[in-house]
Chains A and B, each alone.
Chain A
Amino acid sequence: MDTFMEQLPIVVNSLNIGFLQTLKLFFVTLLGALPIGLLISFATRSKIRPLSAFFKIIIWIVRGTPLMIQLLIIYYFPGLVLHQNIWGMAETGRFNASAVAFIFNYACYFSEIFRGGISRIPVGQEEAGMVLGMSKKDIFFKVKFLQMVKNILPPMTNEILTLVKDTSLARIIALQEVIWAGQAFMKGSQGISGAIWPLFFTALYYLICNGILTIILGGMEKKLEYFK
């Protein structure tokens, strides 16, 4: 295999498969970390001191250490220390461990964003709901939720774009995401070796993905401009 045109379809095919894994990790993390992050933000705002203190410490640790270390520990700890394979075999196992590590890590980051977004809502909003006889649940979902979403969209957009790029950290436990797929052609795979250009293609995947996300999230921000 020598000509670029011959190699291209092979590389693109490989990168597509890798990127599918990247996207899967991205969406699973988002789907898990958003609700869990919201719950953690409630816990840190709780009046029960030990509960809020506990979660504040967890957040401090998670935000103060590299995601890569968390990923390595979560992946290897059960096998090496507990002698139990809890993650499953091969690629499935690597994905499960990555998903857990990413959800845990991002839930902590998201929870701080939620906390900021909720605390910026004036107390008068909650009080107005209360005097109208609304339940706590209704006050949260019907009064505060949309205001919170509006408050958090800008920092959340940043965090989500970072998440897209951070998925590449799963490369450290050899999850076969898009960078793993691109790197394979440097070492040698499917008859191609020593090729650096697939990595540039890899970068393109991230750029396009983040471009699309920027447009979607920016659109949401625009949509919420109808109120102040």
Chain B
Amino acid sequence: MAILEVSHLKKSFGKTKVLKDINFTLEKNEVLSIIGSSGSGKTTLLRCLNFLEIPNGGVIKVNDEVIFDSEKPEYKQDKVIRENRLNFGMVFQSFNLFPQYTALDNVMLARKLKAQNNFKAQKNFNIADLKREFEVIRVECEGLLTKMGLSNRMDKYPHQLSGGQCQRVAIARALAMKPNILCFDEPTSALDPELTGEVLKVIKELKEEKMTMVIVTHEMEFARDVSNEVIFMDGGHVVECGTPDEVFNHTKEERTKQFLGKF
């Protein structure tokens, strides 16, 4: 059973149709890479999955459960969207770390707020329980940063970290929310070449651990290496999809050939 099923996804900005009928599925524990030229709608697709944009059409299913259906207004309610978007994690090109918090606090913030809000919703809550919960979160988040190779940088602020370190903090921050599917939007394109390696290494390690991921990337070598599936997008359509071997070595579509020829 597919963990993610996207069907007939459409998104326009005003009159510009950016996504025109996107369909794909993703199996649990697999990695999907999305490639395509600039402006083909890759970022927009990820933003639709995370509900940073509300799609104009289509259905999104996670674990066979509908989490978005453009025909049904209830899926567009703020509360429903906030809940459903936690199926996905998002790692941005520009990290978007919170500058006023340390690396560890960046990772813990949303988890703590969630715990706190759950507590407040209970009738008679007890502060000691919340404190204990916070402690659990801290240990877990320290573990995540350690896994990212940042055990000695936890109390540093983002401006004291290198780009590669920032991106690894951002990955830990996304993982802290325990998403079913982790999305990356060109996670290394804001980095100096010598720093991309450390981030790509972390993503490969996540693959070993069976994290389900969707990765938009311009690093063709990496896509070939890490993915189970590759999608080539052009003009708001999925032009070609298949295993890395199929897409890179036995390319069918002319447009894909042209695109890959540039690398």
Whether B52 and A127, one on each chain, are in contact in the complex, defined by CB atoms closer than 8 angstroms, is yes
A200 near B: Cβ within 8 Å? no
Whether A128 and B85, one on each chain, are in contact in the complex, defined by CB atoms closer than 8 angstroms, is no
Most buried by B among A134, A226, A227: A227
Whether A138 and B89, one on each chain, are in contact in the complex, defined by CB atoms closer than 8 angstroms, is no
Stretch among A89-97, A142-150, A187-195 lining the B interface: A142-150
- Known contacts A127-B92, A131-B89, A135-B82; decide if A227 and B110 are in contact (CB<8 Å): no
Whether A147 and B52, one on each chain, are in contact in the complex, defined by CB atoms closer than 8 angstroms, is no
User: Interface 1/0s, chain B 24-64, versus A by CB < 8 A?
Assistant: 00000000000000000000000000111000000000000
Which size class do A's interface residues fall under? Answer: 20 to 34
Which size class do B's interface residues fall under? Answer: 20 to 34
CA distance A134 to B174 in the complex (A): 12
B148 near A: Cβ within 8 Å? no
- Known contacts A227-B159, A228-B159; decide if A128 and B98 are in contact (CB<8 Å): yes
B83 — which chain A residues lie within 8 A by C-beta?
A: 133
CA distance A143 to B173 in the complex (A): 14
Enumerate B96-128 residues with CB–CB distance to A below 8 Å. Answer: 96-100, 109-110, 113-114, 117
Enumerate A47-63 residues with CB–CB distance to B below 8 Å. Answer: none
Whether A125 and B98, one on each chain, are in contact in the complex, defined by CB atoms closer than 8 angstroms, is yes
What's the least CB distance linking A187 to chain B, in Å?
Answer: 54
User: Interface 1/0s, chain A 167-179, versus B by CB < 8 A?
Assistant: 0000000000000
A1 near B: Cβ within 8 Å? no
A143 — which chain B residues lie within 8 A by C-beta?
A: 98, 109
Using a CB–CB cutoff of 8 Å, the interface residues on chain B facing chain A are: 50-52, 82-83, 85-86, 88-90, 92, 94, 96-100, 109-110, 113-114, 117, 157-159, 173-174, 177
13 contacts between A and B (CB under 8 A): A124-B96, A125-B98, A130-B51, A130-B52, A131-B90, A132-B177, A133-B82, A133-B110, A135-B117, A146-B100, A227-B157, A228-B157, A228-B158
